Structure 1
């Protein structure tokens, strides 16, 4: 029987590397192989493609590892940054934003702009939570494909027009 830890140490030495693990920019399920994780990986790739399509000259940075207090993307358009967090629901129900408080707390301290992209559902309760923490420096948009690009573009443009990222 092979010890998994020993196998992990020997694999790189023997040349058996997983190509997806060497590229932090790749979109792969985080943590588990659940259905939601696979949907999240696909959704992240679709969002990346949409951001590149809508703002071809923008710089897009991806967070290489999963953390509840950091956004998935940083979109820099015309020198102004917008943090982009993606949320995936497997059902079309209500999105309450229960996973958002660590990210909202951090961004409230940092004074950054935030766009939350939801694949489906009703984000009304989450909008109230986000407005209470970040005010007008955050938006939630339901985006599930190119047919919603206009809402995505309007939300990002509205956020980057803001003069200061720090509250008065």
Structure 2
């Protein structure tokens, strides 16, 4: 049976999307419709908004392609950069960081700082992994919304304060 309601066909072509913000192309699910991919895309957009809200004058660069050895964002605040990697868990269990080693190896070579932003769960094993690879140049923060902005700000500012520019 053919759908004869014109609204369904014409609205996507001519109407503006309702419901507020538009999702940038970089945050749309990458070729899969799994629940975790949809959660991940929404979470990336929410973290991006939080970074813009917390550091309105900062530059935020997004990685346009999916790789295991590059972070999702580069946040540049006052001329200093911090890599931001988002991780989404669909359950509130323990986050071990099993997908982090390629990224940690690259950042260890490059000497970059990293904040892993996790939506939920216990990040203790991941904190130990990051500490063993990056030392005090990395941390994990559980952030699930604006009520956790202080933790995110504290983690990033802490890494920025530890940076020393060499002449």
Shared topology, TM-score over 0.5?
yes
Question: How high is the TM-score relative to the length of structure 1?
Answer: 0.82
Match of 2:16 in 1: none
Match of 1:60 in 2: 60
The answer as to 2:116 corresponding to 1:125 is: no
Q: Find runs of 4+ consecutive structure 1 residues off by over 2 angstroms.
A: 23-26, 163-166
Q: Distance in 2 between matches of 1:149 and 1:132?
A: 26
Alignment gaps of 5+ in structure 2:
1-22
Cα distance per residue 1:117-156 (max 9 Å; x no partner): 0000000001000000000000100000000000000000
How many residues in Structure 1 have an aligned counterpart in Structure 2?
Answer: 144
Q: Distance in 1 between matches of 2:57 and 2:141?
A: 22
Are the counterparts in 2 of residues 112 and 165 from structure 1 also a CA contact under 8 Å? no
* Mapping for residues 114-153 of structure 1, pairs under 5 Å: 114-153=114-153
Q: CA deviation at 1:31?
A: 3.7
Cα distance per residue 1:52-78 (max 9 Å; x no partner): 000000000000000000000000000
Alignment gaps of 5+ in structure 1:
1-22
Are the counterparts in 1 of residues 26 and 62 from structure 2 also a CA contact under 8 Å? no
Match of 2:159 in 1: 159
| SS state at 1:56 partner | coil
Match of 1:69 in 2: 69
Distance 1:42 1:24, change over 3 A: closer
| SS state at 2:89 partner | coil
Q: Distance in 2 between matches of 1:156 and 1:55?
A: 10
Distance 1:62 1:88, change over 3 A: same
Are the counterparts in 2 of residues 89 and 118 from structure 1 also a CA contact under 8 Å? yes
| SS state at 1:82 partner | strand
Q: CA deviation at 1:162?
A: 1.5
Cα distance per residue 1:19-70 (max 9 Å; x no partner): xxxx975311124210000000000000000000000000000000000000
